[in-house]
Amino acid sequence: MKPLLTLSIAAIGGFSMWWLSLPLPWLLGAMFATGLCALLQAPMAIPPRARPPMTAMIGVMIGSSFHAGMFAHWTEWAIPLLGLVAFIAVSGTASYFYFRRIAGFDHATAYFSGMPGGVVEMVILGSERGGDERMIALVHSARIFLVVSSIPFLLALISGEPVSAANNRYVPMAALDLAGGLWFLAAAGAGTAIGVVLRFPARYLTGPLAVSAGLHYFEVTDFMLPTALTACAQIVLGASIGSRFAAAAPSMVLKVMALSIGSIAILLTITLLFAFAVAHWSGSPLEAVILAYSPGGIAEMSLVAVALHVEAPFVVLHHIVRVLIVIAGATATFSLVNLGSR
C-alpha cells in the first residue's frame, strides 16, 4: 500500500503544479508533495526496482532531443569543461569546510557530504571510510531537492523571462506509433544493458540516453515519447527523491534541510560566479553553463535542461564529467584533506 499511496500523492502534487503552470511540474510537484508528507511522517516509500525503468525512460526522452548538426560547435566546450575542474575543486572545498566547521561533522562525513557527486557513490565511499552513512545520504538528498527546486526560478530571475509548464511541447500518445514504440523499447533495453556492463555513471540514465541520442543524431528514427509517459516517469523520480526523507525523524530532516540551505547558498553562489566567467570567456549561453555547473543530479538537471529548452547535450556531458571527476578524485584527495584539516 505504501507505494500506491506515495505515487497517488506524487501524482496529485504534479497535477497541482501543472495546473498552476509552474516549471517542471510533474517532477517538482511529486517531489514537494511526497517530501512534505514524509516530513509529516506519512508512510512514503518507492520500491528500489521502480526507479531504474523510469530513469531509463527519461534517458531515452533526453536522447531524443539530439539531432544532426548539434555538435557543430563542440570545440567551444573546452573552456567550460576545464572550468568545471576548477569549479569542483572550489565548490567541494567550500562545502567541506562548511560541513566541518559550521555543521560540526566529522572529517569523513563532512568530506563526502560536501563532494558534488552521485548520492549512491558518495554514501558508499563515505561509509567505507568511517563516515555517517545516513547523514551523507540525507545531505545529498537535500542537495538534489533544493537545487532542482530553485534552479528553474533562479534562471527565470536571471533571464527575466517567465518559466512555466506552458512552454513545454505537448506530445500526444498517438505520436508514438508501433515502429517508434519498438525503437523506444530497443533504446531503453539495449542502453540499460550497455550502461550496466560498461559501468556508466548513472547507468540507467546514461546508457539509454546514449543509445537514443545515437539513433536520433544519425536519423535512424525520430520518435518522441508522449508527454503522458514522461510525466509518469517524472512522478516516480520525484516521489523517490521526496520519500528518501521518510526513514528519518522529522527533527533530523529539518536539521539537515537547515544546514543544506546554507551549503546550497554557497554552492549556487560559486556556480553563478563560475558560470558568468565561463560564459564570458567561452561564448557559451549563460543558462546552459548555469545548468551544466549546478550541483544537482544528472537525471534531474538533464530534465531541467530539456524542459527549459537549454542545450541538453552540453548540460548532460558536463554532469557526467562532474560525477566521473568526483568519483575518481574523491578517494585520492580524502587523506590529503584530512591532513590539512588537523
**Per-residue model confidence as pLDDT tens digits over 28-68:** 899 999 999 998 888 888 888 888 999 899 989 888 888 77
User: Model confidence over 73-131: pLDDT tens digits?
Assistant: 677 788 999 999 999 999 999 999 999 999 999 989 999 999 887 777 788 888 888 88
Amino acid at 312: A
Distance CA 154, CA 268 (A): 10
Distance CA 105, CA 262 (A): 14
> What value does the mean pLDDT take over residues 295-318?
83
Task: Write down the pLDDT at residue 163.
Answer: 61
From residue 85, alpha-carbon distances to 80, 123, 290 in Å are 9, 22, 15
In terms of C-beta density within 10 A (0-12 exposed, 13-18 middle, 19 or more buried), how is residue 178 classed? exposed
Q: Could you give the residue ranges of the DSSP H alpha helices within the chain? A: 2-19, 25-39, 51-63, 78-97, 107-114, 119-128, 133-159, 178-197, 203-217, 227-242, 250-282, 286-293, 298-307, 312-341
Task: Write down the pLDDT at residue 188.
Answer: 95
From residue 3, alpha-carbon distances to 8, 42, 108, 152, 236 in Å are 8, 12, 33, 28, 10
> What value does the mean pLDDT take over residues 4-28?
90
Q: Is the distance from CB of 14 to CB of 235 less than 8 angstroms?
A: yes
Instruction: Give the cell for residue 305.
Output: 535542461
Task: Write down the pLDDT at residue 161.
Answer: 67
Q: Please, which pLDDT band fits residue 211 given cuts at 50, 70 and 90?
A: very high
- Tell me which of 270 and 77 has the higher pLDDT: 270
Task: Write down the pLDDT at residue 166.
Answer: 52
Helix axes 312-341, 78-97, angle to 10 degrees: 40
From residue 274, alpha-carbon distances to 88, 191, 230, 303, 312 in Å are 10, 33, 32, 22, 19
Determine the CATH number of domain 2-341.
Answer: 1.20.1530
Instruction: Give the cell for residue 287.
Output: 543558462
Distance CA 75, CA 128 (A): 39
Q: Is the distance from CB of 308 to CB of 285 less than 8 angstroms?
A: no
Instruction: Give the cell for residue 14.
Output: 504534479
> What value does the mean pLDDT take over residues 172-181?
90
Distance CA 155, CA 310 (A): 11
Helix, coil or strand: residue 152: helix
What Rg do the C-alpha atoms of the chain give, in angstroms?
A: 19
Is residue 339 over pLDDT 60? no
Q: Which residues contact 5 (CB under 8 A, 6 or more apart)?
A: 42, 43, 44
Is residue 338 over pLDDT 80? no
From residue 24, alpha-carbon distances to 11, 168, 199, 205 in Å are 13, 9, 29, 18
Task: Write down the pLDDT at residue 306.
Answer: 80
Q: Which of 80-84, 235-239, 328-332 has the lowest mean pLDDT?
A: 328-332
Is residue 340 over pLDDT 80? no
Q: Which of 153-157, 168-172, 248-252, 272-276 has the lowest mean pLDDT?
A: 168-172
The structural domains of the chain, with segments of one domain joined by +, span 2-341
User: Model confidence over 125-163: pLDDT tens digits?
Assistant: 888 888 898 899 899 888 888 998 888 888 888 877 666
| pTM of the entire predicted model | 0.84
Task: Write down the pLDDT at residue 183.
Answer: 96
Task: Write down the pLDDT at residue 191.
Answer: 95
Give 195-251 as a DSSP string.
HHHTT-TTHHHHHHHHHHHHHHHTTS------HHHHHHHHHHHHHHHHGGGTTS-HH
Amino acid at 201: P
